[in-house]
Amino acid sequence: MTDYQDHTLAAIMAAKPLYMKSASLSEQVYTLLKELILERKIPGSSEMLESRLAEELQVSRTPMREALVRLAGENLLERRGARSYTVRTIDIKEYLDTMALREVLEAEAVGKALDKISAATLDDLLKELRELIDAGEAQEHLFWRFDEKLHNTIAEASGNLVLAQVLKGLRVNVRLFRLHSPLHRQQENHAEHLDLLTAMREGDREKSLASIRKHIVNLRNDVISSL
């Protein structure tokens, strides 16, 4: 079997079927494929053929095409032909460039969010984080979902929607880079997230900015040390 058949089709066949509910079929296809990519069920460089995917998911080509174009627009896929895509791969240079930019922009987001984000929102995030910590080593997708929620919530609370969108794209780069290696610092990330949220809840600007910078630098250094 080809790499495409080994990985992409296996992931599709194992996924839950799509149903015509409130979300459009295109939206459902997009959500499913994005989840399969970011949860490492479809590896980097895997081929994504529009016709084959439509056949396997038993949908017409129009919603499939719309979903694939949307994923390509979010830099999760690269176009290889008129109806063919591959999961985008991120090399070490692009990863390090991404983290350098994140260090600046995540601190900007935290600084702006401090005066706007509600105590209730921070308390909810802290509660969810403590539950993850108490659960011990969680399934990787649960970690990533909280990580995405935390960073998105802070970025959106900054009030700068362009900043939030740019940061979301940068985190996609990080997730794609991480497709090639297992996440092995869940507890360290939890501790750094806890420091950040605690500082924000206390309204400590200096500590909040130091915490987010430390978090991003530690993520980058962790990868560098593994090379």
Cα angle vertex 99, ends 186, 35, to 5°? Answer: 55
Q: Distance between CA atoms of 153 and 113, rounded to whole angstroms?
A: 9
pLDDT by position in tens, the chain (length 227) = 445 445 565 565 555 555 545 458 889 889 889 888 887 777 777 788 888 888 888 888 899 999 999 999 988 999 888 888 988 888 999 999 999 999 999 999 999 999 999 999 999 999 999 999 988 766 677 888 899 999 999 999 999 999 999 999 999 999 888 876 655 678 899 999 999 999 999 999 999 999 999 999 999 998 898 88
Pair 71, 77: CB distance under 8 Å? yes
- Say which residues have a Cβ less than 8 Å from residue 221's Cβ, sequence separation at least 6: none
Q: Count how many residues are written for the chain.
A: 227
